[in-house]
Structures are given as C-alpha cells and as structure tokens.
Structure 1
Amino acid sequence: MGTVYRKTDKGQAEITTRQFQLPMKLRSALIMVDGKRTDEDLLRMIPGQAQEVLQTLLNEGFIEVVAVAAPPRPSSSSSRPPEGAASKPATPGLPPAPSRPLDQMRTQAVRFVVEQLGPLGDDIAIRMEKARSWPDLHPALVIAHRLLADNRGAATADAFKAAFLTAE
C-alpha cells in the first residue's frame, strides 16, 4: 500500500511565498507532493534521505495524508486474508471509527510504536497522543503503519494494522 499526500494550506503558502524559508531539499520535495503520487513514487523521486524528508514535511504540517492506495496488482502469495477481515478496500475517505474507546486505542498504538521504533517513532507517537478524534488519529496510524513496514518489516506492520487499522 502507498500513502498519498497533499500540500496543506501551510505547504501551499510555502510554495507561493517562501514564508517558512524551508531548506531547498525540503522545498523541492514539497513541490513534488501533488495529492496523486504515492509515497513510493515520492521516495524514488526525492534524493538522499527521502523517508526522513517526507516525515519532516508531515510533522511540520506542510503535507497531510489524503489516502492509502491499494497496490497496483495483487500479490499471488498474500498471507493476510485468512483472518476473516475480508480484503479491506483502499478508501480515499475515512473508514468508520472502531468500536473500542479512542483513548484506549491511542494509548496502545503509541506503546506499540515506541516499543518497535524507539526514538525513530517519537514524532508519530506525539502526533497520535495529540489526536482527540478518529479523523485526527487515523492518518497518524496510517503513517505509523508505513514507518513500521519500512523499518521493522511486514510482519510487524501487519500486526500493527490488525490491531489498529482493521475493522473490529
């Protein structure tokens, strides 16, 4: 799955006026964010530490998650479906809020991220802690899932997804 980002009002202001005086590396990456390209596309286009550049733009409020796109073609040996969670479609909108209390889910998700990523997960953990509603928490969970996949592997990311991103 790929995460799709778009510029926030703050990001648009930076492009138009250079109000925030982003360093050239961040500004160049911000220009590439168009609301259509997935993070995989952007990671191929951004030189150097691309994941950190996207994370910085996200943490500083220049970009935001708009969708989680499905992979271009299904893998023939996917081992996820058997848990009765019929294939979850990639929805540009927000999925329904889970049945468990938001505070409980948020606390458990933060703990999972901190245990798995350590200091690398601090920024997204803080963002999750600040979330006071499902529309605020969900994009942070999506980003945490992606960070876990990139840094800890598919099995850890799948465990996080099963616990926090699939319908209960």
Structure 2
Amino acid sequence: MSNGGSLSTRAELVARAYRKTDRGLEEVATRAHRLGHWLRCALIMVNGRRTGEELSTLIGESGRDTLRELVDLGLIEPVTTGDLLTTLPAQTWPPDEVPALFLPIELARRRALRWLAVQFGTQGGPLLRRISKADGPDQLHHALVLSERYVRRAQGEQRAEQFQRDVGLRPSTH
C-alpha cells in the first residue's frame, strides 16, 4: 500500500483479494452514495475472497479501472495477508510451480469452453473470453485455474474436481 490507502502498482491491484469497507457495505444496503449501476454491480461482486484478477474477469474490459475507482472511493479495500490466508481456495500454486496441463492445449481449451458454456451460459462470458484469448499454455492454465475457482464457488467441490479432470488440470480417472 502506498500513501493515502490507494494501491501503488497495477500488480497489487490484480493479485490481492478485496472486501467491502464499512462505506461499501452501507452503499449496498442503502444506496447512500448513489453509485451508477455498473459500479454498484461491481461492488456487489466483491466478497472478500475474489482477487482483483478474478473480479476483473467477471467485470469485463474495464475491470481494473472499475476496481481502482471503487478503491479510490473508499468502498473496497485489499484483504490483509493474514485474512487472505484463511480465505484462499485450498489449491493454489506459486507461479514458478504451475503444473502442466494433462491434455493438449487446444483440446483443453475446447473442453473448457464447452463445459463452461453448458454450465453457466451467458454468465460465463468473461471466463470464456479469457480462455479463448489465452496465448500459450501458461495463460491458458491460469484462465483454467480462475475458472475452476469460479466453478468451486458456484457449484461446489465435486463439480470443481470434475471440471479439473475434464479440462486437463488433473489427470483423468479413466
């Protein structure tokens, strides 16, 4: 964090999880600050577990700018490191230890696009775009991990594990 509570780098904005401040909670409950529709929708998505990267994916093209605006307005704040350790999903990897995909990259991409489209329809749009645009195995792997976290939150542990097997994040049991 830099002076005034605003984030110092774009990397910090993306890597940290965010939660609503008291002012943000007040806005959701009362609309006291009269946020525009899009900012209010973005504020509602902030839950204390989603990282800036995940929120940017859900929000769309203006995700990072929208998050910065919410931070600058004092409606959201980064989760502290101690809090983050208790809210991260169980399966995370350091960037230099990301496991390889267990399927060829284009097969993994096709399976993930089909899987998410069937499960989430238009709500999966941001994830589908991220997977489609992934350039290379590292970017695709990152997009698949973000998608797996979303599946885990939306549909539970068993569906997330099925997604992992179907798209090659873990070996198939066949």
What TM-score does the superposition give when structure 2 sets the normalisation length?
0.51
2:100 is aligned to 97
Distance 1:152 1:104, change over 3 A: same
- Which letter does structure 2 place at the counterpart of 1:106? R
User: 1:43–1:50: 8 Å Cα contact kept in structure 2?
Assistant: no
1:112 is aligned to 115
Identity level (%) = 22
What is the correspondence of 1:66-145 to structure 2 with a 5 Å cutoff?
Answer: 72=86, 90-145=93-148
Q: Which has the higher helix share?
A: 2
Unaligned runs of 5+ in 1: 1-6, 13-31, 64-69, 74-86
Aligned pair count?
Answer: 118
Distance 1:89 1:137, change over 3 A: closer
Unaligned runs of 5+ in 2: 1-6, 26-42, 66-83
Bigger Cα Rg = 2
Is 1:33 aligned to residue 6 of structure 2? no
Q: Secondary structure in 1 aligned to 2:96? A: coil
2:170 is aligned to 166
1:166 Cα offset (Å): 2.1
Question: RMSD in angstroms over aligned alpha carbons?
Answer: 3.8
Deviation by residue 1:28-78 (Cα, 9 ceiling, x = unmatched): xxxx7374x4x3xx2465754134995452443739xxxxxx9759xxxxx
1:129 Cα offset (Å): 1.2
Deviation by residue 1:115-163 (Cα, 9 ceiling, x = unmatched): 1111111111111012231111011111111111222222211211233
Distance 1:112 1:62, change over 3 A: same
Distance 1:153 1:96, change over 3 A: closer
What TM-score does the superposition give when structure 1 sets the normalisation length?
0.53
* Distance in 2 separating the partners of 1:34 and 1:144: 16
* Distance in 2 separating the partners of 1:118 and 1:154: 20
Of the structure 1 ranges 157-166 and 49-58, higher mean CA displacement relative to structure 2 is found in 49-58
Of the structure 1 ranges 48-57 and 100-109, higher mean CA displacement relative to structure 2 is found in 48-57
* Distance in 2 separating the partners of 1:102 and 1:34: 25
- Which letter does structure 2 place at the counterpart of 1:116? Q
* Distance in 1 separating the partners of 2:156 and 2:102: 28
- Which letter does structure 2 place at the counterpart of 1:62? R
* Distance in 1 separating the partners of 2:127 and 2:111: 13
Deviation by residue 1:88-128 (Cα, 9 ceiling, x = unmatched): 77333252432421111100011111111111111111110
